[in-house]
Amino acid sequence: MALCVKGRYGYDYIHHPDRVLKPRVRRYLLDGKPKPVISEQLSVISDLWEWVDTDWDTALNITALKLNESRSAHGPDSIGILTSAKCLNEENYLMNKFARQVVGTNNIDHCARL
């Protein structure tokens, strides 16, 4: 089996020091508060907007809740799924199945130009 150039040599991003290793969510989501309003004055933005490290179960539960809220309020086509050319074909296939069979939308795309 032959690999493409990106697959053979494009692995350095895995060990990049800026790579996020834990899930992060906004503080207001962890606190169960409504989304804060952004003020005209940037200095007034509260610390509720800051990113906080959390565990995978909490992050995935928040994501599922917010996707379900959006789908219920605005319909499945209000949700779009973006994948990456850096993902495996199997991962992109699973996201395709997730978008179409779980969410109920055909709004799925990826960028193969990277």
pLDDT tens across 69-91, in order?
Answer: 999 999 999 999 999 887 888 99
pTM: 0.71
Question: For residue 104, is it left (φ>0), alpha (ψ between -120 and 50) or beta?
Answer: left
Q: Give yes or no: residues 5 and 29 share one domain.
A: yes
pLDDT value, residue 79: 96
Q: Are residues 100 and 110 in the same domain?
A: yes
Residues 29 and 60 in one domain: yes
User: Residues in the chain with pLDDT < 70?
Assistant: 1-7, 39-45, 112-114
* Domain that residue 108 falls in: 76-114
What integer pLDDT is reported at residue 45 of this predicted model?
60
87 and 62, same domain (yes or no) = no
Clarify whether residues 52 and 84 are in a common domain. no
Helix, strand and coil content of the chain, in percent to the nearest 5, comes to 50, 10, 40
Per the structure, the count of domains in the chain is 2
CA distance 104 to 76: 6
- Residues 9 and 55 placed together within one structural domain of the fold: yes
| Residue 7: C-alpha distances to residues 44, 61, 75 (Å) | 46, 32, 37
